[in-house]
Structure 1
Amino acid sequence: MPTVHSSFYKFVALDDPAAVAAGLRALGNGLLGSVLVAHEGLNGVLAGPDEALDAFERELTLDPRFAGMAFKRSACRTPPFARLAIHVKPEVVAVGVPYAPAVGTQRTPQEWRELIARDDVVVLDNRNSFEYRLGHFAGAVDPGVANFRDFPRYVAEHAAEWKAAGKEVAMYCTGGIRCEKTAAWMQGLGLTVHELRRRHPPILPGHARRRARLAGRVFRVRQPHRARYPPAADRHHGRRGLCRRARW
């Protein structure tokens, strides 16, 4: 039976993360992967048959707290996970800054294209350096992230410089969660922040596709740590060693 990968997250206040985690374990029959639960929400990647994912997603979104959650799916050649792990953590993405909803930061693909062409905008890649090397927007800055907490440290070190130069910040990340987690915190530093609209792949038709490197395959699906990378020809044409690109 074909294996399908699903990724999802939502920032929502949870009074009892342990109870939520217990409920998720009860829903995870037939699935493998990892889900993190915290007071700020949940963040997960799961894999299994379509039918098992359908049942999990249907039951999860019956909870009003998770209604409207988006799920990204991609087909896998081999199972990407060995077990199911659902843990309660202090954060659902460990960047070390408090979550708050940002206001007015989301930009449409057309707005993004115009934005990153401006001289008064710093384009920040809110991913790790490995992902940056595989593919990034032309002119994007690599903050040198090896650990998620490196990103806010880099921003804090450069915020005063950017403000003094009259620069605004446009950032993008893999699935939206790191941008969503840090946007309001960055606004709190006095920065004008823009995000490529969440849940939209940064690699777009036409002009924006030409502005990215290596067709931006890493924005859609990442491989597990132990995955054997596909040949170079496969990488450039967007195929995966384990999971095909998500269907947008």
Structure 2
Amino acid sequence: MTTRRPPRIAPDRPAPRGRRAARAAQPPRKPPAEPEADDGPQRIAKLLARAGVGSRRDVERMIEEGRIALHGETVAQPAPLLASLDGLTVDGNPVAKPVSTRLYRFHKPAGCLTAARDPKGRKTIYDMLPKGLPRLMPVGRLDYNTEGLLLLTNDGAFKRQLELPASGVERTYRARAFGDISQTQLEDLVEGITIDGIRYGKIDANLERRTGRNQWIELTLTEGKNREVRRVLEHLGLQVSRLIRTRYGEFSIAGLDTGQVEIVPRDALFQFRRRLEK
């Protein structure tokens, strides 16, 4: 007769403590969100934005200007639904299929426009970029005489996300200005300021150094209204002689010579986009 052994009962384990307890209490991490599917009809503006032609707003403006055609016929409205880019042209050129999102850092020099073309014939950033790059769009704008970091991307939706104040992406500038200003006056900008009926949001401003009546001021903000930094400092009685953007989000101008462009590594871009979505 065979005697069965009673099942072994594992002794009770002590409850985890400290970091182990904290990890055990956390819900399982969700995998990164999958990119939006390309299948199914989409509006022309959305298709072209994802193909890197521009943001949806840019595309709608191009349609108004009669620059977009479908099988040779000028597109009048951004609403028609299309399943593919077949037959779509911009300025007579076929639109290439979208590629994965890319981001570049560009050290914009003073004396060039953040625009594709200029009726006055002035130099634009596209005159400065090397050949062989994909179709790129600037994230925000830098004035003609403003220099520094300009991000460029081939993804219209990503561009728009980076530009929106709701995303909370910080931009940091250094301004050389002439006039009288105190740190207390600069700190008041943290509450925002209204100038000529235009409301400017929170600005974190700090006086870096002063020589006589000339000073360098660092300013960090999360919006990009037209000529915002210059207008705010001029409203405070300062004359801005030089303006440099040193940082956009977590990307800085460090290591870039004037006019140089450099791609952001894929891993750095992926991690940045994950943090941006939180």
Same fold (TM over 0.5): no
The structure number with the bigger radius of gyration is 2
Structure with the largest fraction of strand? 2
TM-score (norm 1): 0.29
TM-score (norm 2): 0.27
Name the structure, 1 or 2, with higher relative contact order (CA <8 Å, separation 6+).
1
